[in-house]
Chain A
């Protein structure tokens, strides 16, 4: 009896062990993906009270990681333009939420660091580098606006007195699951640029976290499943392919393994070369010297069901409803198109890009640059290029139009203190003069005390959301009257309305008719003469 019981228990134990072993298939996947299981590292087997504590633990093994990070644009938010001007999020003014300066605690939610709450942030402190924002795989790591990039690790009411309670983030389990970056990591900030999902870029939004092939052939979750880093091939934490240093023209071929390249690896050509179309469509290869790949292969942006903002009018901000509370308006689909804090928006999906010549140079209007309120909008940035400079290609762009605050006496864009719980923040008191005075003082810029609004526009390259070949543009999308490239100057495009000359076509068709008539007359004569001879 005892032996039977013993045997039965042993069999049960073996069955359970087998079941547990069978359930380990997922762990096998994990083993195949990495040589390190971070859950086994003692230094990570603890509960962390703050982000910097996690970073300190990471640095015990990855000793140079923070130093690498601190050399990057992601850390500095700074870029020196080839024209010598200092750019980067830290310096520029855009026509979305306008400026980082004076709003650090909110904007730096998307900084890969902890604690950048004002202009005294110490960029040399290694433990302030945020490893988890790029290497979290759980999807549970998040940083709430207003905490200068810090993670909330204890339940917190924010803003204070609002009744809104923020759920704490458990850092220990997240630190134990770190791995290579994914679309979710990059997307945590880049999908939400401009203050919300899809707002800024138009070709980057949360639909790319898990897209299908029709949305993006490269990132297709069931196909190629590219991570961002597949194209933005990162070395030493330097991520190439920034829009501040765009490559408009790449005359190189497809890259070979083992060969060293010093050029930008994120271009289409770096994989597809200069003649990517097959023999049956070889005529398309004649376009690759003047037309960027994206022009034909991204027929529209914001195609994933998330709208992008196309314009933003700050001059209408500040309206209160009948109840005395800040007004909010929504469109028929329930999407916000007006808020008292931000003004009026136009949002759109499936947007056909505008097209411009682009040679890689971008010029900016910065704080202090003289601007005029007139018929032409102020260019926040502008893509340079022309048909004649031999360095340009025709590129698809999103042109974002808006109306934003400026100083009508000093004739300059302004820094506005938008966010904060203090009385001077625009989102608290809806008073432009007060908010701009504090914003301009924070950067030491002069302010007249008067605020007006000026029309602005900015350009954004369209380069994600690459459609399958079957959905790419067809000949008639450009070679026809009123087609997509109608406004692109300096180049002859057969079939295009502006290249359409009635007389030239009459003469051409007349010559063709004459040639046909001549051939028919000649042929008929030959046949008649031959019959006569026989």
Chain B
């Protein structure tokens, strides 16, 4: 019996590993072009209008952006960064923002990964540093 539990446990852990790997691989391979559009038309538009200006991806390093994205703190910790990529947020602004409208149904995690992909590849030390132009 103990042997059966052991085998089942190992199998489950293997599956767990495969699953996590799949998620990780997916995160790494986000759609950077969709991320670019969302970053430009939602994040940058709002920052330009309400937060004193745009922040170019190449203004920070990959490590900076990774830490920022993982911390999930927006506006110096006042709220969650992920909130701004959420379906709920997109629904709230889609009347005035075409990007939010177009991507209204994209799963939250997927869109967040897309944005992550764009920011990391556009970082100062990324594969393709991106300015606001």
Contacts and interface: CB of A to CB of B under 8 A. Distances in A.
A16 B15 contact: yes
A305 B44 CA distance: 14
A222 B98 CA distance: 7
B26 A140 contact: no
A139 B35 CA distance: 13
B88 interface: no
A19 B110 contact: no
Nearest to B9: A9
Interface in A1-41: 2, 5-6, 9-10, 12-13, 16-17, 19-20, 22-27, 29
Contact of B9 (A6, A140, A182): A6
A24 B5 contact: no
Contacts, number: 95
A68 to B, nearest CB: 27
B25 to A, nearest CB: 9
A70 interface: no
Contact of A5 (B9, B33, B37, B102): B9
Interface string B1-45: 110110011011101101110110010011111001100110000
A207 interface: yes
Nearest to B37: A221
A177 B33 CA distance: 14
B92 interface: no
B98 A19 contact: no
B107 interface: yes
A357 B40 CA distance: 39
B5 A6 contact: yes
Contacts of B36: 209-210
Contacts of B19: 13, 16-17, 19-20
B72 interface: no
B109 A10 contact: no
Interface residues of B, number: 37
Given A5-B9, A139-B121, A26 B22 contact: no
Contacts of A210: 33, 36-37, 40
A128 interface: no
A207 B2 CA distance: 64
Contacts of A437: none
Contact of A24 (B26, B41, B98): B26
Contacts of B80: none
Interface in A240-283: none
A306 interface: yes
A24 B98 CA distance: 25
Interface in A299-346: 304-306
Contact of B12 (A12, A26, A306): A12
B128 A142 contact: yes
A517 B1 CA distance: 114
Contacts of B107: 22, 25
A26 B37 contact: no
Contacts of B18: 17, 20
Interface in B101-133: 102, 107, 109-110, 113, 121, 127-128, 133
Interface residues of A, number: 38
A455 interface: no
A322 B1 CA distance: 86
Interface in A472-488: none
Contacts of A20: 18-20, 22-23, 26
B26 A17 contact: no
A23 B121 CA distance: 21
A23 B127 contact: no
A138 interface: yes
Contacts of A305: 133
Given A22-B107, A139-B32, A305-B133, A13 B15 contact: yes
A193 B32 CA distance: 25
Contacts of A10: 8, 12
A13 B16 contact: yes
A213 B99 CA distance: 12
A99 interface: no
A350 B111 CA distance: 34
A212 interface: yes
A197 interface: yes
Contact of B109 (A5, A23, A206, A221): A23
Nearest to B2: A2
Contact of A26 (B11, B29, B98): B29
Given A16-B15, A140-B121, A2 B102 contact: no
B49 to A, nearest CB: 15
B4 A26 contact: no
Given A139-B121, A140-B128, A23 B110 contact: yes
A6 B22 contact: no
B104 to A, nearest CB: 12
A26 B15 contact: no
Nearest to A4: B5
B22 A23 contact: yes
Interface of A: 2, 5-6, 9-10, 12-13, 16-17, 19-20, 22-27, 29, 138-140, 142, 167, 182, 184, 197, 206-207, 209-210, 212-213, 221-223, 304-306
Chain A to chain B: the 5 pairs with minimum beta-carbon distance, closest first? A16-B19, A9-B12, A20-B22, A140-B127, A13-B15
18 contacts: A2-B1, A9-B8, A9-B12, A13-B12, A13-B16, A13-B19, A17-B19, A20-B20, A23-B110, A24-B22, A26-B113, A139-B32, A139-B33, A167-B127, A184-B33, A210-B36, A222-B102, A304-B133
Given A222-B98, A223-B98, 15 more contacts: A5-B8, A5-B9, A13-B16, A16-B15, A17-B19, A25-B110, A27-B26, A139-B32, A139-B127, A184-B33, A197-B133, A206-B133, A209-B36, A222-B41, A306-B133
